[in-house]
Amino acid sequence: MDQQPTVSAAIEQVAPRLRHARRQKGVSLAALARATGISTSTLSRLESAQRKPSLELLVPITAALGIRIDEIVAAPRVLDPRVPQEPTGKDGRVLIPLSRQQGEPRAYKMTIPAHDEEPHLRTHAGYEWLYVLRGRLRVKLGDRDFVMGAGEAAEFDCHVPHWFGAAGRGSVEVLSLFGKQGERIHLRTPRR
C-alpha cells in the first residue's frame, strides 16, 4: 500500500528543486539575491533545506527565475483515504480497525455478541474511550457496574480494573479509541 508523503517530506523536496531550477537557468546565488532582495545566506539555506520555504520567499524567487511556482512546490499526492476493513475476531467479538496509522490513539468498531459470560476484570496501560452505536453495553469499572445505551460515551484509565460486554439479549456495537494518553471526555447523556 502506498504511503502518503508527509508535509515535511514535501517541504524537503522544495530545496533540490529550487537549486536545480536556479542552476538550470545559469543564475548564481548572488545574482538571484540581487534580483529578489533576499539575502544570499537565506537563499543558500532554502536550497539546503535548512530554512522552511514560504510563499513570501518563493514568489519572488520563481518570478526572478521565470518559472511557475508549481514547478518548485508539488502538492502531496492524495491517496484513497478510506481505511481497509479488515475485521478480526476473538471470543465472538468482531474488531474492525478504523485507523490506518500505527500511532495513537487507535480507533476500532467492535461488535460484541450477547452471551452469559461472567465479567473478567483486567488492567493494562492506556486509556479507553467508548461510544455506543447500537444496543446496550454493560461496563464494570472498579466497583462500578453500569449499562450504557446508544449515544452514550465513557472514558477511563485502563489501570482501573475493567470489563465491558453486551447487556441483555442483543449484541452491541461500540466505537473505541485506545491510546496511552486517551481522549479526555466524560459524557453520560440523561435518560429520556
Q: What domains can be seen in the chain, in order of their start residue?
A: 7-71 (1.10.260.40), 88-179 (2.60.120.10)
Q: What is the pLDDT of residues 23-57, one digit of tens each?
A: 999 999 999 999 999 999 999 999 998 998 888 99
Counting Cα atoms < 13 Å in the Cβ hemisphere of 182 gives 15
Q: How many CB atoms neighbour CB 53 within 10 A?
A: 20
pLDDT of residue 168: 85
If one compares 183 and 35, the residue with the highest pLDDT of the two is 35
- What's the mean pLDDT in 57-70? 92
Using the predicted structure, report yes or no on whether residue 94 has a pLDDT greater than 70.
yes
- What's the mean pLDDT in 115-137? 90
pLDDT of residue 6: 52
Q: What is the pLDDT of residues 67-90, one digit of tens each?
A: 988 888 876 567 788 888 889 988
Q: What is the pLDDT of residues 2-15, one digit of tens each?
A: 444 455 666 678 89
pLDDT of residue 66: 93
Average pLDDT over the chain, rounded to an integer: 84
